[in-house]
Chain A
Amino acid sequence: MRDVARWSPPPLIRNPWLRYGLYLGGAVYLALAVGTLHINWARLALGLERGWAFVSAFGHPNIVTHWREIEEGFIESLTMTVVATAAGVAISLPVGLGAARNLAPMPVYLLCRGIIAISRTFPEIIVAILFVKMFGFGPLAGVATLAFATIGFMAKLLAEDIEDIDATQMEAIRATGASPMQIINYGVQPQVMARFIGLSVYRLDINFRESAVIGIVGAGGIGATLNTSFERYEFDTAAAILLAIIGIVMATEYASSLIRGRLR
C-alpha cells in the first residue's frame, strides 16, 4: 500500500547498488587522479611569489615606457580583425548556403559540411602555428588564421538558420515562378539576414580577442607585444596591455549587443 502523504522524485539511476557504486567509484577515481598530478609544493610557493608580482602589477600598469610598441600592436590587431572578419564572412556565405540541407543537393552539402568540419576541428592556436610556419611571423599568418576560423563558425550558424526557416515563405516565392537565385534572395535571405549581421558583429569581437592569443605564437598583433613584455618580465607593461584588451573587448561587446538589439 502506498503512503499517500509522502513523495520524492524517482532517482535518476533506479538500482541503489549501481547508484551508490557509481558515486563511490567516482570518488576513488578523483582521489587517485589528484595523486598522479605530482604537486611540488616548494615550486608552488616560489611561483606564488612570481604570480603575485604579476597580479600586483595591475596596481601600477605602465603604458608609457613601451607606448610605441603597444600602439603598433593594437593597430595591427584591429586591422587583422577587420580584414579577417570581412574575408571570412564573405567566404562563409556560399559555404553556408551549400551546407543547408533544404537548399543544396547532396554532393554540395557534403563538401560544404566538410569545409565547416575542418575549420571547426582545429583550435585557432594550432591553425596559427601552421600558418606561421607557412607565411612566417607577422600579421598575414594571423589574418589567415582568423579568416579560416570565421568561415567554419559563420557558415555553420548560417546553414543552421537556413535549415530552420519557415519553408512556406520559400514555397510561396517558388510558386510565383521565381528562379533559384530569386528564391534565395526573396524567400531565404529576409529570414536569416538580421541574425547573420548580428553574428558577423559578434564574430568581430571574438576575432579581436583571438588576435591577442594567436599573437603569442607569432601571428602578429597585440599578442606579440604582450608576449615580448612577458619574456622581459615587464609585468607592468603586460598589465597595461591586458587592461587595454579588456577595455576594448568590453567596448566592442557593448557595441555589438547594441547593434544586435537594433536588428530584428
Chain B
Amino acid sequence: MLTIAGLTKRYAGKHAANSDLALDNVDLVVPKGQLMALIGPSGAGKSTLIRCVNRLVEPSAGRVVLDGSEVTGIGGGALRRARRRMGMIFQEYALVERLTVMENVLSGRLGYVGFWASWARRFPAADIAEAFRLLDRVGLLGLADKRADELSGGQRQRVGICRALIQNPGLLLVDEPTASLDPKTSRQIMRLLVELCAERDLAAIVNIHDVALAQMFVPRIVGLRAGRVVFDGAPDALTPDMLTTIYGEEDWSATIRPVDDDSGDDDA
C-alpha cells in the first residue's frame, strides 16, 4: 500500500546541524487496511512525516510509493491525482470556517471535478449522494447547510472525516485527531475512525499524543524520536522502558495502564 524508504527532511536553518533534521532516514511499510499509530514527543517529526507523504512538505531525500506509484518527484496534475488517494484529517479540523458543512464535505471531491463545476458548486449527483451518505454515517445529516463555524469540536472533526473519506482514498493521514477534543469525544472520534477504516479497508497513519488512546484502538504503534523510528510493534510491546526510549525519563506506570472503554454512547 504505502512504502516509505529513506525519507529525510532537513529544514533550512542557520547551521546544517542535526537539530534541523526533522526526519532522519525513515523506512516504513503500511500494508493495505492497516491502522498504524505514530507516537513521539513534540518535534519528533510526526507531522512532518505525514506531510511528506502527501507532499504538503517537500522531503529532502527518500521515496514515498503509494500503490506502486511514486509520489516523490512528481508535480502538477500527477501530484494532484496522487493526493486524491490520500485523505487527510487535521488536529484543528481545518474546515473552511465560512463554508457550509456540505461544501466542506464536497471539497473532498475537488481533485475529481473541473474548476467551473466546483466554482458553481455543481457537483455530480453521485458525489452529493455520497456526501449525504457519509454525513448520515457520522450522525450529522441534519447539519448539511450549517456553516462550519457553528459546529462543536466533535462535530467539526466528523465533517473533517467525511471530507477525507469522500475522496475515496486508500490511505488516511491523520494528524492529532483528538488533541483539541475532550476525553470522551476523543474516544468517540477514535472509535469512529477505526470503524470507518475497517468498513472501507483503509490504511491509516494516525499521529497521536495520547499513548493510552493509541494502545486502546490501534493494532500497530510506531515510535518516533528526533526523526528516527525507535519503536515499531504491537501496543502490548510498549513497555515503560520503551516509552523512556521514545519520550525520555518519566514514571510511565499510570500512562500505559489500560483505560476503561466507554462503549455505548456516541452522541457528541
Q: A173 contacts which of B92, B96, B115, B160 (Cβ < 8 Å)? A: B96
Report the minimum CB–CB distance from A125 to chain B (whole Å): 39
* Residue numbers in B under 8 Å from A56 (CB-CB): none
B83 touching A185, Cβ below 8 Å:
no
Among the 9-residue stretches A66-74, A98-106, A146-154, A187-195, the one with 4 or more Cβ atoms under 8 Å from chain B is A187-195
* Residue numbers in B under 8 Å from A174 (CB-CB): 56, 83
A177 touching B110, Cβ below 8 Å:
yes
Q: How far is the CA of A178 from the CA of B76 in the complex (A)?
A: 10
Residues of A171-199 at the interface with B, using a CB-CB cut-off of 8 Å, are 171-179, 181-182, 185-187, 190-191, 193-194
Q: Contacts A175-B86, A179-B115; is A186 near B80 (CB within 8 Å)? A: no
Residues of B152-208 at the interface with A, using a CB-CB cut-off of 8 Å, are 160, 163, 167, 173
Q: B118 contacts which of A166, A168, A172, A186 (Cβ < 8 Å)? A: A186
Most chain A beta carbons < 10 A, residue from B96, B99, B103, B108: B96
Whether, in the assembled complex, A257 has its beta carbon less than 8 Å from a beta carbon of chain B, the answer is no
Q: Contacts A175-B56, A190-B96; is A182 near B86 (CB within 8 Å)? A: no
* Residue numbers in A under 8 Å from B62 (CB-CB): none
Interface of B is mostly: mixed
Q: B83 contacts which of A169, A176, A186 (Cβ < 8 Å)? A: A176
Q: How far is the CA of A168 from the CA of B82 in the complex (A)?
A: 20
A182 touching B94, Cβ below 8 Å:
no
Residues of B81-105 at the interface with A, using a CB-CB cut-off of 8 Å, are 81-84, 86, 88, 90, 92, 94-99, 103
Residue of A nearest to B76 (CB): A179
Q: Contacts A172-B88, A172-B90, A182-B110; is A177 near B99 (CB within 8 Å)? A: no
Q: How far is the CA of A178 from the CA of B107 in the complex (A)?
A: 8
A168 touching B90, Cβ below 8 Å:
yes
Report the minimum CB–CB distance from A171 to chain B (whole Å): 6
Q: How far is the CA of A168 from the CA of B56 in the complex (A)?
A: 11
B97 touching A169, Cβ below 8 Å:
yes
Whether, in the assembled complex, B111 has its beta carbon less than 8 Å from a beta carbon of chain A, the answer is yes
Interface size class of B (residues with CB under 8 A): 20 to 34
Report the minimum CB–CB distance from B145 to chain A (whole Å): 15
A178 touching B97, Cβ below 8 Å:
no
Report the minimum CB–CB distance from B194 to chain A (whole Å): 21
B107 touching A186, Cβ below 8 Å:
yes
Q: How far is the CA of A193 from the CA of B94 in the complex (A)?
A: 18
Q: How far is the CA of A173 from the CA of B96 in the complex (A)?
A: 8
* Residue numbers in A under 8 Å from B82 (CB-CB): 177
Q: How far is the CA of A193 from the CA of B80 in the complex (A)?
A: 26
Q: How far is the CA of A193 from the CA of B97 in the complex (A)?
A: 12
Report the minimum CB–CB distance from B141 to chain A (whole Å): 22
Most chain B beta carbons < 10 A, residue from A168, A174, A178: A178
Report the minimum CB–CB distance from A178 to chain B (whole Å): 4
* Residue numbers in A under 8 Å from B115 (CB-CB): 179, 181-182, 185
Q: How far is the CA of A140 from the CA of B18 in the complex (A)?
A: 64
A172 touching B84, Cβ below 8 Å:
no
Whether, in the assembled complex, B54 has its beta carbon less than 8 Å from a beta carbon of chain A, the answer is yes
B97 touching A191, Cβ below 8 Å:
yes
B111 touching A172, Cβ below 8 Å:
no
* Residue numbers in B under 8 Å from A169 (CB-CB): 94-97
* Residue numbers in B under 8 Å from A172 (CB-CB): 88, 90, 94-96, 107, 160, 163
B86 touching A186, Cβ below 8 Å:
no
Q: How far is the CA of A232 from the CA of B112 in the complex (A)?
A: 69
B118 touching A175, Cβ below 8 Å:
no
Q: How far is the CA of A177 from the CA of B119 in the complex (A)?
A: 15
Q: How far is the CA of A193 from the CA of B99 in the complex (A)?
A: 11
* Residue numbers in A under 8 Å from B97 (CB-CB): 166, 169, 190-191
B110 touching A173, Cβ below 8 Å:
yes
Residue of A nearest to B119 (CB): A185
Most chain B beta carbons < 10 A, residue from A172, A173, A178, A194: A172
Q: Contacts A179-B80, A182-B115; is A173 near B98 (CB within 8 Å)? A: no
B108 touching A176, Cβ below 8 Å:
yes
B110 touching A178, Cβ below 8 Å:
yes
B80 touching A187, Cβ below 8 Å:
no
Q: How far is the CA of A182 from the CA of B111 in the complex (A)?
A: 9
Instruction: Provide a sorted-by-A list of 24 A–B residue pairs whose CB atoms are within 8 angstroms.
Output: A168-B90, A168-B92, A169-B97, A171-B94, A173-B107, A175-B86, A176-B107, A176-B167, A177-B80, A177-B81, A177-B84, A178-B110, A178-B111, A179-B80, A179-B110, A179-B115, A181-B115, A182-B110, A182-B119, A186-B103, A187-B96, A190-B97, A190-B98, A191-B96
Chain B residues in the interface with A (C-beta under 8 A): 54, 56, 80-84, 86, 88, 90, 92, 94-99, 103, 107-112, 115, 118-119, 160, 163, 167, 173
Q: A175-B88, A176-B84, A182-B119 are in contact. List 4 more A-B contacts (CB 8 A).
A: A169-B95, A174-B83, A177-B84, A193-B98
